[in-house]
Amino acid sequence: MTAGWTDDRVGALKKLWLEGQSASQIAKQLGGGVTRNAVIGKVHRLGLSGRAAPSQPARTVAATFRTARPRPTPAAPAQQPSAPRRLEAVQPKPVEPAAPVPAPIPDLPGTATVMTLGAHMCKWPIGDPSSREFSFCGRRSSEGVYCVEHARVAYQPQVRRGSKESGSDLARSLRRYI
């Protein structure tokens, strides 16, 4: 239900607001579907910001300055940090030889096109995909989508973490002891 703001109601609202009554109290006195939020909205639209002085004057807090407490002097001088310990020379681990790189597979003309590619055929792309000569390897694939030769190129063995520590990894791990 909307409150009809007649001139009488607006006059009563202004009077009660300037007397310092709350929006809830004004809404109760006006009655007839006037809510607290309706009172607040009307006050805002009318630009009524000034309120009557509160019944009790606000207490003023006098600014008092306290003298600073004297700080206790330390009984013993602060302990100086010791010199960092020297690290013993770390012998690097012997470098394991890398796995042999497979010989590159010559790009033979592919035997399979997109239309002839089957389930157990190597899907290694050969040539430029935008050209008419683009094709796929087409050799027999026993596991996965590539033949044995192309699978060696496509899939690299995982390097186990921690098996080969680089110099930066070693230096980073030793920082906590310095």
pLDDT tens for the 178 residues of the chain, in order: 556 889 999 999 999 998 889 999 999 998 888 999 999 999 999 888 766 555 565 566 665 667 777 777 767 666 777 777 777 777 777 877 776 665 666 656 667 888 888 888 899 888 888 988 888 988 888 888 888 888 888 887 776 665 555 667 777 777 777 6
Q: Which of 152, 151, 109 is nearest to 127 (CA)?
A: 109
**Residue 39: per-residue pLDDT:** 92
Q: Which of 42, 58, 56, 57 is nearest to 17 (CA)?
A: 42
Residue 87 lies in a domain: no
Positive/negative CA dihedral, 73, 76, 80, 81: negative
**Which of 174, 149, 1 is CA-nearest to residue 88?**
174
Q: Does residue 88 sit within a domain?
A: no
Instruction: Return the C-alpha torsion angle 175, 169, 171, 98, nearest 10.
Output: 160
Containing domain of residue 150, as a range?
Answer: 105-157
In a domain, 41, yes or no: yes
User: Does 166 reside within a domain?
Assistant: no
The reply to whether 40 falls in a domain is: yes
In a domain, 16, yes or no: yes
CA dihedral 142, 147, 148, 153 (to 10 degrees): -140
Domain count, the chain: 2
Answer whether residue 24 is part of any domain: yes
**30 and 13 in contact (C-beta within 8 Å)?**
yes
